[in-house]
Structure 1
């Protein structure tokens, strides 16, 4: 009987020690175990705890995004859910949101806000003679990822201080995008300018695990010479002086 009591006491002690270690585990120690399974994600300068920590740098596919801060709620763990509040802050990149992983492996993103330089999308456009100016900001309230599909997603994005430099110089009005998930698990949206500048834009796009597909018609308002010159380097010229831009590619080009 005493042996059973001692074994039970040791079991309770081991459980308490395990809880204490998990509760206070340094983030850098945990990252050593997670890093081999993190794929294209890399962290440096990790400190704090598993629950409330910081990384001096986070990179994806070798692209530096900036610093990372996270906070993980402990209570949801009792129902096999991981809920993390994340913030990425770089020199020209800013993003925040809540990520939740359920017991079934489904991932939900909520209250996501982002700001990235427009130049980030240059590899997808593949226009080496022009550099993209300005920044793209956006939000979406919710998105669910499961089995390689996206559902329940809807949001907006805005290209502010839009323009190009290089072989041609031009500034545009803001360009707007609205997007939402589709039944097949992809995301589709529309593109348009805000109507206040000399570049008219009308287009659509779609994004899926297989890649992205976009099409837009661009034209100069008010016979703007600079915009007309810039359109010579973008897409296929049309008889009416507009340009037809078609983009297809793989997502990894953005990295």
Structure 2
């Protein structure tokens, strides 16, 4: 029995030495292999603690990535690491783990400017402002198929400018897996100048949303003139549909 413990201890020391000595590029090769066109540059450090100064897809620079691995996760047959990604004014951090064909993530927090929503909202005469904060409490993927997802998001200090200017208040979203597949969720407001209620769903092919909008302030009513379709009972209905790699289809007013 004592000899067996020495063997186990020796293996742990060997694995720890590998984590310390192997170059960081070893950890990034499987990621590059699974994401078409992705390559990392300015790589330094080790598998245990590494950094990529640039993550590139084609000529587009998506920023830098840092990570710190957790060797004790190997005892459970998994690879786990805390990651920190910074791409200009976009940022994300959290913990990811991979084992037995399942990719897991937890406590992932991301933040990006609301201007990135313009493609999805499809309002060329209105530019969105503010910050979007996303929190993924738990997520699991077997291959490309999600098995578990729990999270929420907030568009903080939401506002628009352009053909009209208006402060909208905070807008909330909650999302998770749908029983029939894909991701679904609900949106609502925090009692601010914009009254909003709606649902959305998304999968690998694209997304669809249906939102009921109404104004609690005159400047919001002016902004809503440029959004969606009028409802007989008042307010507007905004329907959005698109694919991730295409611009969404805009409905005429």
- Tell me if both proteins adopt one fold, taking TM over 0.5 as the criterion: yes
Which deviations, in whole Å up to 9, do the C-alpha atoms of 1:61-84 show, x marking residues without a partner? 765443211112223335531112
Contact map agreement 1:149 1:185 (CA 8 A) in 2: no
Pick the aligned partner of 2:206 from 203, 211, 224: 211
Q: Calculate the TM-score normalised by the size of structure 1.
A: 0.81
SS in 1 for 2:169: coil
Which deviations, in whole Å up to 9, do the C-alpha atoms of 1:202-229 show, x marking residues without a partner? 11111111211111011111xx332112
> CA 1:225–1:95 in 2, change beyond 3 Å: closer, same or farther?
same
The residue aligned with 2:155 is: 159
Contact map agreement 2:19 2:46 (CA 8 A) in 1: no
Partners of 2:194 and 2:210 in 1: how far apart? 16
* 1:167 Cα offset (Å): 1.6
Over the aligned positions, Cα root-mean-square deviation in angstroms equals: 2.6
> CA 1:17–1:141 in 2, change beyond 3 Å: closer, same or farther?
closer
* 1:59 Cα offset (Å): 4.4
Unaligned segments of structure 1, at least 5 residues: 1-15
Pick the aligned partner of 2:91 from 88, 91, 94: 94
Partners of 2:28 and 2:143 in 1: how far apart? 25
- What stretches of structure 1 move > 6 A for 4+ residues in a row? 16-19
**Is the counterpart of residue 26 in structure 1 residue 23 in structure 2?**
yes
> CA 1:55–1:128 in 2, change beyond 3 Å: closer, same or farther?
same
The residue aligned with 1:119 is: 115
The residue aligned with 2:44 is: 47
Partners of 1:30 and 1:161 in 2: how far apart? 39
Partners of 2:58 and 2:199 in 1: how far apart? 27
Q: Which has the larger radius of gyration?
A: 1
How many residue pairs were aligned?
Answer: 235
Contact map agreement 2:132 2:155 (CA 8 A) in 1: yes
The residue aligned with 2:54 is: 57
Contact map agreement 2:141 2:148 (CA 8 A) in 1: no
Pick the aligned partner of 2:223 from 207, 230, 250: 230
Unaligned segments of structure 2, at least 5 residues: 1-12, 248-253
Deviates more, 1:161-170 or 1:231-240: 231-240
Pick the aligned partner of 2:136 from 134, 140, 147: 140
> CA 1:29–1:146 in 2, change beyond 3 Å: closer, same or farther?
closer
Q: Calculate the TM-score normalised by the size of structure 2.
A: 0.82
Partners of 1:40 and 1:119 in 2: how far apart? 25
Pick the aligned partner of 1:188 from 178, 184, 191: 184
Which deviations, in whole Å up to 9, do the C-alpha atoms of 1:84-133 show, x marking residues without a partner? 21111233212111111112x11111111111111222112222111110
